[in-house]
A and B are shown apart, each in its own frame.
Chain A
Amino acid sequence: MTGGKSVQERYRRLKESALLREEDLYRRPVVRVGMATCGIAAGAAPVKEAFTRFIEEKGIDARVVEVGCMGHCYAEPLAIISKPGFPALCYGYLDEDLVERLVEDFLLNDDPCYEFALVALETNDVFPTFSDFPRGVHEQKIVLEHCGFIDPGDIDQYIATGGYGALAGALAGEPAAVLERVKESHLRGRGGAGFPAGLKWEAAVRAGGSEKYVICNADEGDPGAFMDRSILESCPHQVIEGMLLCAYAVGAAQGYLYIRAEYPLAVKRVQLALEQAREKGLLGTAILGTPFNCDLEIFMGSGAFVCGESSALVRSMEGLMGIPATRPPRLAESGFRGRPTVLNNVKTFAYIPPIINRGVDWFRSIGTAENPGTAVFSLVGKVSHTGLVEVPMGTTLRELIEDVGEGVPNDKAFKAAQIGGPSGGCLPEASLDIPIDFDSLQEAGAIMGSGGLVVLDEDDCMVAIARYFLEFTQQESCGKCTFCRLGTKHMLDILTAITEGRGEPEHLEILAQLAGDVKEGSLCNLGKTAPNPILTTLRYFREEYEAHIKEKRCPALMCKDLIVYYIEPSLCSKLCSVCVGSCPTEAIYTRTDGLKAIDQDKCTKCDNCLKTCPPDYNAVIKLSPPELLAEKEGKGS
C-alpha cells in the first residue's frame, strides 16, 4: 500500500498524545477498580463510589478509573492502587471500610497497608509480584494481557500500550503479508474445533469477489464459560484491531461483532470502543489516511446456543432461525449474504495484534509445536481460586487446577474436570496429567471448546452432571435434524430415569448406542458433540451409573430422589433450633426430647438445614439409598 510512511507517522502522533495523557494521569495516585460484569456483581460499583467519595472528602488529588477483569474473580471486588513512589498494588475483597482505610492510610499518608494487598504489579523489594505465586509461574497472558489494567472506555489507554500499532504496521505493507504471518503462526481458531485461522482466511482470499465480510463470534453460550464476555468488557480494542487486520488481509470492508444480548455491558463497551476508534480515524473510511476502508457493527444475538455454530450464526444475522446449514459451501466461499465470510471467535481475533507485533517466532515459542500460543479458561466450580486464566498450551490440567486454581477447597476430594461445556467431557483424576491442547483433550474424550473448565468434587454426581448437560443441549437443539432433536431427548429421558431411581440394566447399552449414533449422524457440531458428556462419564465413571441403577444409590448424595435428609440424634443438640427456622416448608420439628427431626413427607430436600446446622453439631446428614432411613430410625430415637 502506498504512503507507508505517512501511516506510521499518523500512528506515531496518536501514540504520542496517548502516552502524554497517560503520563499526566499517573502523575497522581490512580485507583483502578475492576468493573467487568463479575466485579459489578461482587459489589464493585459501591466500592468505586466509596473511593470517589472518600478521596473527595479528604481533598486528595487522585483519580478513580474503571477497568475490566484481571481474572482474579475469587477476590472481587478488586482495585489496583498506583501511587508515585510505590509499586502498583492490587487489593481484593474490598468493602467500604477497607476502602476508607486505604484512602486514609495509603493515599493520604504513605502506608500501603501491605496486610491487605494481594500482589504487586511491578517488581520491587517489598512485596511479591505475580511471578512469585504458583499461578504467576504458569500464567502467560497474550489475550488477557491488558484486561483489568486499562480502562476499556478510553482508547488512549489501549494505544498507550502500543495498541493499533500492529494495524498501522500492516497498513504500511501489503495485505498478503498479514495473511502470511497468520498462516505461519499456526494459530488455531479458539472457537472450539481448532481449525487453523490462516487457512480459513486464505480460503476467503481465494474465493474472490469484491464484497467480503469479517464476523467475530461472541455468542458465548457455554454454561460455565465467560472469557469472551470478559475480554470484550475489559479490552475491546484488541478484538477490534484483530478484526481490522483480518479485514485488511482478506479484503473485507464490513465486519460484525455478534454479541449475545444477555451481555449488555459488553455491547455497551464495544459500542463505545467502535465510536472512539472511528473518531481517531482507526475505523471507517480511509483508515489512518490509507485507502483501506472498513467499518464494524454490533449484531445482537437473541439467545440460541446453536448460533455458536457458524452457519446458524450467519442465518440469524440474515433474519432467519439460527439453524445450521448443510455443507458445502463453507462460509469462506459463501457466507453472510452469500459472500465469502471469515468467522472467528473473540479470542482468535485478540491473538492477531500481538502476533503481528511480536512476530511468528515469538508466538510459536509459546505452547507446543502443533498448538502454539496459550489457552484461556474460565476456571470455576470446586476450586479455590476461580477466575479467568491464561496458560501456555501444553500446561497440564493438574497444574491448572492445583497450582493456578489452588486446588479443591474444604478438604474435599477432586473428582473430575469438566472441560468444553455441553460439548465437552468429564475427565477423571487419572487424566489430569495430560497436556492441555486441542488434540490431547479430544483424544481423552473432551474438547477444548470455548474454554470453560468446571472442577467437580466428591459431592458432585457424574450421572447428574451428564444429565444436566444433556438437558442443556436438548433444550438448545435447534430441532432440525432427527438425531439431535430426538436422540438428545431420548438420552435425556434415560438419564432422568436413572437419576430418579427408575434406571434399568439395559439403559446403559441403549445410552451408549444412542450416543454413538447421535455423534455420527447429526448434521452439525452441536449434535455431534452433544453425547460427549455421556460418553466420557460412561467411560470414566461407569460405577456411578451402576450404583444408581442396581442399588438405587447416588454415591455423591446429590440426586434428590435417591437421598433422604436425616438428623442424627447423637449429634443434635436440644439447645439449638437453627434448622427449624431455616426450613422453608416446616418439615423440621422438635421431638419430645428436645432434639430435632424431619418429617419426610414435607421435606423438599432443599439442603438448607444441612447448610445452617452449626459446625459444632453437623447433625444433618444425607442417606442414600433412602431405605437406610428405616435402619437409622430403628436404631435411633
Chain B
Amino acid sequence: MSLIEGEEELIRNGVAEALLDHDRARESLIPLLLKVQGKLGYLPALAMELIAEALQIPAVDVYGLATFYNRFRLNPPGKHQIQVCMGTACYMVGGDIALDCFERRLEIGEDETTPDREFSLERVACVGCCTMAPVVVVDELVEGHVTPTRVDGILLSFGREIPKSAEKTEQEGENSP
C-alpha cells in the first residue's frame, strides 16, 4: 500500500512523539507500538521501520511482534469497529450467529474492513460481560443480547441499509476523480 501525501509526515510525527516518552530500549517496544497504533489506528510499515531504527533492532523483530499479538493491526481499521465477543458464555448462546450475521450483512469476513472503510469486523476473546451474552462491542459501546434482529438494528443505526432482497444495490462512489 502506498502512502498518500501528508500521511508520511503524520507517521513520522507520530513515531517521533511516541519516542519522546520512552527509553530507546527493546523493553519499550510494545508500549511504543501501542502508542503509535493508538495515534494512527494501525501500524504502517514505515512506523515499524522507524521504530526498529530507533531501537536498533532488526525490522523483522518489530514485524514479528506486530503479527504475534492480537491487538496490533497492519491495516487501517474501519470508521466503526465491530467486535464480536467469542467468550465461552457468548459462544454458547450464539456469538457465532451474531458474527455470521455481521459477515453476511457487511459482506466481509472477520478481521476485514468494508471497501468503503466504514466498518471493520473482528472477533475478540472475552470482554468480560458474560452476563449479557452474546455481546458485541461497537465502537467501545457494549451491546448485550445480540440476536440477528439486533445486528440489523445496530447497522441501521449507522445508516446502513439492510437489503430486503438478495439483490445488492449498487451505490455510486461520492468522490469521483
Contact = CB atoms under 8 A, between A and B. Distances in A.
Interface stretch (B8-16, B113-121, B141-149, B169-177): B141-149
Nearest to B94: A607
Contact of B69 (A74, A302, A606): A302
A608 B147 contact: yes
A606 B30 contact: no
B91 A223 contact: yes
Interface string A279-307: 00000000000000000000110111100
Pick the 3 closest A-B CB pairs, nearest first. Answer: A303-B70, A226-B128, A224-B88
A41 B86 CA distance: 16
Given A318-B27, A319-B27, A386-B89, 8 more contacts: A38-B132, A41-B129, A302-B30, A304-B69, A319-B30, A322-B68, A460-B92, A584-B148
B166 interface: yes
A447 interface: no
Contacts of A465: 88, 92
A381 interface: yes
B133 interface: yes
B131 A606 contact: no
* Interface size class, chain A: 35 or more
A456 B166 CA distance: 37
B147 to A, nearest CB: 6
Contacts, number: 151
Interface string B59-80: 0000011001111100000000
A6 B120 CA distance: 58
B58 to A, nearest CB: 12
Interface string B131-157: 111010000101010011101100000
B142 to A, nearest CB: 4
Nearest to B126: A223
A300 B125 contact: no
Contacts of B142: 37, 40-41
A305 B125 contact: yes
Interface string A214-241: 0000001111111001100000000000
Contact of A74 (B72, B92, B125, B131): B131
Contact of A300 (B25, B26, B30): B30
A378 B29 CA distance: 33
Interface residues of B, number: 51
B124 interface: yes
Given A221-B126, A611-B147, A454 B70 contact: no
A480 B114 CA distance: 33
A421 interface: yes
B108 interface: no
A288 B124 CA distance: 43
Contact of B131 (A38, A223, A607): A38
A90 B128 CA distance: 23
Contacts of B104: 584-585, 604
A181 to B, nearest CB: 32
Given A224-B87, A261-B71, A322-B68, A381 B92 contact: yes
B68 A304 contact: yes
A73 interface: yes
B97 interface: yes
Q: Which of B104, B124, B149 has the most CB of A within 10 A?
A: B149
Interface of A: 37-38, 40-42, 73-74, 76, 220-226, 229-230, 261-264, 299-300, 302-305, 316-322, 378, 380-382, 386-387, 418, 421, 452, 454, 456, 460, 465, 468-469, 472, 476, 478, 582, 584-586, 604, 606-608, 611-612
Contacts of B152: 584
A468 B129 CA distance: 19
Contacts of A317: 27, 30
Contacts of B124: 262
A456 B92 contact: yes
Contacts of B18: none
Nearest to A266: B128
B88 A223 contact: yes
B97 A607 contact: yes
Q: Which of B27, B33, B165 has the most CB of A within 10 A?
A: B27
A84 to B, nearest CB: 33
A268 to B, nearest CB: 13
A606 B147 CA distance: 9
Contact of B88 (A304, A320, A452, A606): A452
B19 interface: no
A226 B101 contact: no
B82 to A, nearest CB: 15
B49 interface: no
Given A454-B92, A472-B125, A604 B100 contact: yes
Nearest to B124: A262
11 contacts: A38-B131, A264-B140, A302-B33, A302-B34, A303-B71, A319-B26, A380-B130, A386-B131, A421-B88, A454-B92, A468-B88
A608 B125 contact: no
